[in-house]
Amino acid sequence: MKKGPLFLIAFLLIVLFFILGVRYGQKVEKVNKTMNYYLSLPPSQPPITQIPLKFETYALKGCAIKFLYPVNLKIEAEATYSALFSENKKEVMNINCDAKNKLAEILGDNKTATTEGKITTFKVFNSISGKYIYFSLTNSLYPLINFSLKFSN
């Protein structure tokens, strides 16, 4: 058996591995350049810092209740037996303890709470004053009001 063809095959394999190595190195270099470019870009937006929520206590003496509400809500209207809160000129909470009101008609005698879309309407009985208090508010405020609601004298 002659050694010439074996040397030729070995030489061709070495050349093939060299060419494949060069091509692989080019791919790795391209990926590295792309990654370096993306890493050099500044962030597109500064990080958003969330403003901490602050709460205040609101008391409606005619209904004999107190509860917490976020300070970003604005008291639009206030009377002895009702209050209206808004945020960005949109009504977000309506409270009424007058027996003749729209909220009482919505809930009727049997229901204690109803949810329609983004609004929850519910009533609670104040055993101190002997009145039902009707609330209509956004779903996001319901847990806060329900948790912080206190009856007063």
Span 72-89, average pLDDT = 89
Span 97-123, average pLDDT = 68
Instruction: Give the CA distances from residue 73 to residues 15, 53, 54, 58, 102, in Å, rounded to whole numbers and listed in that order.
Output: 76, 11, 11, 11, 22
Backbone φ and ψ of 13, nearest 5° = -65, -40
What is residue 4's predicted lDDT score, i.e. its pLDDT? 86
Span 140-146, average pLDDT = 89
Q: Residue 106 — very low, low, confident or very high, per pLDDT cuts 50/70/90?
A: low
What is residue 69's predicted lDDT score, i.e. its pLDDT? 92
Question: What are the start-end ranges of the H helices in the chain?
Answer: 4-40, 102-107, 142-148
What is residue 51's predicted lDDT score, i.e. its pLDDT? 76
- Report pLDDT digits (tens) over 112-127: 667 778 888 888 888 8
Q: Rounded to an integer, what distance in angstroms lies between the CA atom of residue 41 and that of residue 97?
A: 58
User: What mean pLDDT is reported for the chain?
Assistant: 84
For 94, the token pair is 């309506």
What is residue 46's predicted lDDT score, i.e. its pLDDT? 76
Span 80-106, average pLDDT = 79
What is the reported pTM?
Answer: 0.60
Q: Residues 73, 78, 67, 138: is their CA dihedral positive or negative?
A: negative
What is residue 14's predicted lDDT score, i.e. its pLDDT? 94
What is residue 86's predicted lDDT score, i.e. its pLDDT? 92
